[in-house]
Amino acid sequence: MRLAALAVATTLIAACTDTPGNAQNTPQSPHTTTTLPFTVTEVAKFTSPWAMTFLPDGRMLVTEKAGELLLVSADGKTSRTIATLPVDSAGQGGLHDVVLVPGFAQNRQVYLSYSVAGDGGKGIVLVRGTLTGDAGAEQLTGVTELFRATPFVEGNGHYSGRIAIAPDGQHLFFTNGERQKFDPAQDPKATLGKVLRLTLDGKPAGDPGLTARGFHPAIWSYGHRNLLGIAFDQAGNLWEQEMGPKGGDEVNLVLPGRNYGYPIVSDGDHYDGRPIPDHATRPEFEKPKVVWNPVISPGGLIVYSGDMFPEWKGDLFIGGLSSQALVRVDVTGTDAKKGDQWPMGTRIREVEQGPDGALWLLEDGQRGAGGKLMKLTRK
């Protein structure tokens, strides 16, 4: 058995020790408190989990970095490996996102993303598979590659690979990181550093205006860095978060055909200390809605729509890795500002909403974190 149930409510979690934002983002400083407005229950333990999603019956699919897809009971007490994918898990690589295909109740299909090695180096791929077998004995079968990032390049970082289903149910959005190569984010022929729009079968369906200008036909927006969360709100707006360089983590409202400026502009700087001009210096680029400096190192993103915390409906929730926090972004229409930042005492890789409106968190399995699954309910 891959997982041990814990089923014990935690005591107060240790406070985060990161410093508050600097002067350039003080007007949007989050409300940080050690008094948590929810009860945290540790449910289970995994090995370096990366993403999760709920099935209609309340069970969960959880991905692990090394390539295992787990089917987990609704109470978290049992799990089984239902597929082992051929991932390249070096560095930031591995088995990444998992999302249900529209019509899952009938077709039993899921999308997955993971990093692989190939001609030219490494890259992220999008695949689709089918859950087959009787309840309790399912396996993922018929795994077929639908799309792969281009070009493959050397290195083990900034794969991204997040997936979101469009409100029309006819398209999916897929994030490709710039692979720590900077310039590909502005290259019209590369999918790196981009938000892509595809058909449900993985065919390019990008912004027509960009395609007419000679861009890769899957590109929807460009000038991004390491896009680790993407989600639609109830109004159909597409929200995305990405890790900035040394400073400058972002939440963006993704609009078709727009250039978000990286690496030409950023509200952070290069790790070697070289400055990057701020967004404000180049108004032709789409600027972020929210910026963190110092960073939160965002992991995962949802738009909350549940009834357990009605005061947060429509807001964004983001996991914090280096910040060891759960972060709320207050959304009003197409505007956003920093909300709460709750210290969780560990690296949060993924945020998901449960069927009853509870918040579920996956603890990262790297840098001393242990890979816990946690459920947050109203106090």
CB burial of 91-124 (b: ≥16 within 10 Å; e: otherwise) equals: ebbbbbbbbbbbeeeeebbbbbbbbbeeeeebbb
Q: Write down the catalytic residue from 158, 171, 216, 224.
A: 158
Q: How many residues does the chain have?
A: 379
Confirm whether 224 is a catalytic residue.
Answer: no
Q: What is the largest CA-CA distance in the chain?
A: 58
**Contact (Cβ atoms closer than 8 angstroms) between residue 243 and residue 297:** yes
Per-residue HEC secondary structure of 88-109 comes to CCCCCCCEEEEEECCCHHHHCE
Closest CA to 94 of 367, 373, 352, 365: 365
In the three-class reduction of DSSP (H, G, I as helix; E, B as strand; rest coil), residue 184 is classed as helix
Closest CA to 123 of 92, 97, 99, 164: 92
Which residues are catalytic, by number?
158
